[in-house]
Amino acid sequence: MKLLTAAILVIFCLGIFTAHTVKGSVGSQRMRRFSCVRLSTQQLNIRNLVSYEKQQVPVNAIMFITTKGIKICVSPDQKWVQSAIKKIDQKRTTKGK
């Protein structure tokens, strides 16, 4: 009887340890708060953009962040988008100097 109780206790402890380990590894992953699912087709004013993030999932997109904190998703394939990214990168490098 003592052996059965000890075996059940060991199985119970392993179950709790496994559940805690799995929960910790999933919980420690950083989740995005905002991700692009639809893309804007309008060209944005480059002067109003302060930053950007590249995204590949669930859609390939560039998320621009405006001076007011608004996040707008656009297709990275457009020429104006590439120009805006270069302009933002230039601003970042000149601020760092």
Evaluate if residue 14 carries a pLDDT over 60. no
pLDDT at residue 23, as a whole number: 47
Q: How confident is the model at residue 89 (pLDDT cuts 50, 70, 90)?
A: very high
Which tens digits make up the pLDDT trace of 26-64? 444 455 567 888 999 999 999 999 999 999 888 899 999
DSSP code of residue 46: G
Q: What is the pTM of this model?
A: 0.62
Evaluate if residue 75 carries a pLDDT over 80. yes
pLDDT at residue 21, as a whole number: 47
Tell me which fold the domain 32-97 belongs to: OB fold (Dihydrolipoamide Acetyltransferase, E2P) (2.40.50)
Q: How many CB atoms lie within 10 A of CB 62?
A: 21
**Cβ-based neighbours of 59, under 8 Å, separated by 6 or more:** 36, 37, 39, 73
